[in-house]
Chains A and B, each alone.
Chain A
């Protein structure tokens, strides 16, 4: 059983006669030790999903379990950490007090908690701010404190909603390193982020959500790989050779100088085309499968979904 399991999970918000489907029959099975990225435009249902998994809101229908236990069992949260988007801490508390309060609520106490607070403040570069009231903290500092709070109980599963929001590039890199370090310790991280380039760098699996519906799910490589599309680089020894635009069903287009984009329906067709080039004494210096960025794929997928909705 996965660390997170959802089956036909649906959430409908009702306001008078108006109904909004925030999440529609969402299915997910997440393995332990994964960094999972949930992507989607604003209002896609990303935060709704996290909130359902933490019992902050309740599903309209469907089933979900976290760490193998039902959502109604609140004690499961002893092993969960959460950094909400736009989190707020009482402004009369200091950074150290915030961590102490949430640490104690998570079931920790005494010297173990003291040690953990100091460790996390050190990790987040907040040690010298330990006794300063959080109302004086900058956005970036609040975000780092939030991350420390999410890690205070040494959780097995961490939900992070826009963790790098308001953090400078150096701070983002530090947060990425922390997440990778957590992954190396078999922690599972569920990440909501608008920063696709960042998600691409650290996640193992990605799901794309739009208007409550799961559009695609898979590894970053699976999602960004272009099917049967290759980038070919050649060194022509025969100057009279002219690259055809179509060969036996293979579409060829010149990208730049000796670089070509080759579209074949299968590997067989591609190999026939390579044989043809070799017969014409064309030296092939490289062939790689074409990839799009996560951002390209995300945009085209959302645009396609929007078109289908209009139709």
Chain B
């Protein structure tokens, strides 16, 4: 555990030395300040009275608050994830550079510990950044509406989990190619294109595909590929509105993908010559 902890700390230091993480923190601070400024100029009563409610006032406030939270956090978290993928994709290739990996492997540290240290370090960086952003926005909105519902804070874990799944793929690609490009491109492809397309294809499979074989192949791919769209969209909305997660399948199948990627990464890394 000590070695994993040391490698995690080392990865955090590496992340802090990168400009992109500072940029991410900068954007988060800016977003929090802008949100605070906007809300300081807005009269909450006028917002509340602008909506008609058949339900009670509390429910109305809850709906407004969660809508605002989703409206502000979703694009920022998406941008944050893109930045996180960009920055973290070089963590493993940097570790595997000649002259660096030789030194690390000459120390009493197992290869598995090195890899877990890099992985946890990367996750921790994203967790801290996303946590800072989400909690900051949440506090501002909660203060303004005097409505303190912590369920939205679960989205910090969902966003970090989404990154964890994509990062496991980045780690594997990093080990296989000793470069950052393939992992980064695949992660972007899944996050921006494949996952949204597969989500739509799966929802509308009966309409899109008449042939059962094609339909099953598409569904198979859908279940294999991480469901970043569902995680970052539907699941965050469900949590923010306090409905709770209706379907755990995207979470479970993405987790299986993560485990698979990490198992292959560890097996490959343990056998690789450097």
Contact = CB atoms under 8 A, between A and B. Distances in A.
Contacts of B101: 56
A84 B17 CA distance: 25
Interface string B106-124: 1111100000000000000
Contact of B110 (A57, A74, A84): A74
Contacts of B248: none
B14 A105 contact: no
B102 interface: yes
A84 to B, nearest CB: 4
Interface in A116-146: none
Interface size class of B (residues with CB under 8 A): 20 to 34
B273 A58 contact: yes
Nearest to A109: B2
Contact of B108 (A57, A58, A77, A89): A77
Nearest to B106: A82
A97 to B, nearest CB: 8
Contacts of A58: 271, 273
B23 interface: no
B274 A56 contact: yes
A128 B102 CA distance: 28
A90 B109 CA distance: 18
A42 to B, nearest CB: 16
A77 B274 contact: no
A54 B106 contact: yes
B103 interface: yes
B107 A102 contact: yes
B10 interface: yes
A92 B14 contact: yes
B203 to A, nearest CB: 45
B149 interface: no
A51 interface: yes
A186 B97 CA distance: 33
Contacts, number: 74
Interface in B16-42: 17
A85 B99 CA distance: 7
B255 to A, nearest CB: 30
B108 A90 contact: no
A241 interface: no
A105 B102 contact: no
Contact of B3 (A51, A55, A88, A105): A105
Contacts of A102: 103, 107
A104 interface: yes
Interface string B238-274: 0000000000000000000000000000000001011
Contact of B273 (A56, A88, A89, A105): A56
A75 B106 CA distance: 10
A101 B109 CA distance: 13
A292 to B, nearest CB: 35
Interface string A58-76: 1000000000000000111
A54 B98 contact: no
Nearest to A105: B107
A57 B273 contact: yes
Contact of A104 (B6, B99, B100): B6
A1 B104 CA distance: 28
A80 B273 CA distance: 20
B104 A84 contact: no
Interface string B87-99: 0000000000111
A210 interface: no
B192 interface: no
A105 B98 contact: no
A105 B105 contact: no
Contacts of B102: 51, 54, 56, 82, 84, 87
B109 A105 contact: yes
A88 B10 contact: no
A149 interface: yes
A169 interface: no
Nearest to A106: B107
A244 interface: no
A110 interface: no
Contacts of A86: 98-99
B103 A87 contact: yes
A260 B99 CA distance: 51
B234 interface: no
A74, A102, A159: which has the most chain B beta carbons within 10 Å? Answer: A74
Contacts of A80: 106
Contacts of B97: 88
Nearest to A11: B273
Contacts of B10: 101
Nearest to A146: B103
B98 A77 contact: no
26 contacts: A13-B273, A54-B105, A56-B102, A56-B106, A56-B273, A58-B273, A74-B108, A74-B109, A77-B107, A77-B109, A78-B108, A82-B102, A84-B102, A84-B106, A85-B99, A86-B99, A88-B98, A88-B99, A88-B100, A89-B100, A90-B14, A90-B100, A93-B13, A101-B10, A105-B6, A105-B107
Given A56-B274, A57-B274, 4 more contacts: A56-B101, A76-B108, A84-B102, A92-B17
5 cross-chain pairs, A with B, having the tightest CB-CB distances, nearest first: A92-B17, A88-B99, A82-B106, A57-B273, A84-B102
Interface of B: 3, 6, 10, 13-14, 17, 97-110, 271, 273-274
